[in-house]
Structure 1
Amino acid sequence: MGFDLGSLAVAVISVLGVGLLLGAGIPLIYALAVRSHESDRPGSAAVSVALIAACVLLAIAGIVMIVFGDAIFGG
């Protein structure tokens, strides 16, 4: 039984990616949405709405993973 660095690297990258997306990613996307909403550029309102919708969907996905994670992932 050996130590597989490849699968360890994949696991670490997966955890970091999900952590950044659901942890620091949502406030970043929200900040970009607020900045876009304050801008006077054409189309900035649509971009702002799309980014806020992404924040809401990511937050709901995080809650679903927390509540139903065992049922979804079979843990």
Structure 2
Amino acid sequence: MFDLGVLVTAVASVLGVGLLLGAGIPLVYALGVRARESERPGSTAVGALLMTACVLLALAGIAVIVFGDAIFGA
């Protein structure tokens, strides 16, 4: 029997991970650059935090690609 709930959960999971590790990284980078260029107090720290998050997300994506079988089991 076709289970629509499982399908929706699977699609939402794939979409969430794709946005986080795919389109989310350039978004975080752009927000970090914008914060670094801002003249507001504390914006340099926010920009540095966003840049650090961008690097960590990229490293997490690389780790999933390289070690995906060991992490999630095949």
| Pair in the same fold by TM > 0.5 | yes
What is the aligned partner in structure 2 of residue 19 from structure 1? 18
SS in 2 for 1:34: helix
What is the TM-score with the length of structure 2 in the denominator?
Answer: 0.98
CA distance in 2, matches of 1:11, 1:17: 10
What is the aligned partner in structure 1 of residue 52 from structure 2? 53
Deviation at 1:5, TM superposition (A): 0.4
What is the aligned partner in structure 2 of residue 66 from structure 1? 65
Deviation at 1:53, TM superposition (A): 0.5
What is the TM-score with the length of structure 1 in the denominator?
Answer: 0.97
What stretches of structure 2 of length at least 5 have no aligned partner?
Answer: none
Identity of aligned residues (%): 73
SS in 2 for 1:37: helix
CA distance in 1, matches of 2:49, 2:32: 8
CA distance in 2, matches of 1:74, 1:23: 22
What stretches of structure 1 of length at least 5 have no aligned partner?
Answer: none
SS in 2 for 1:11: helix
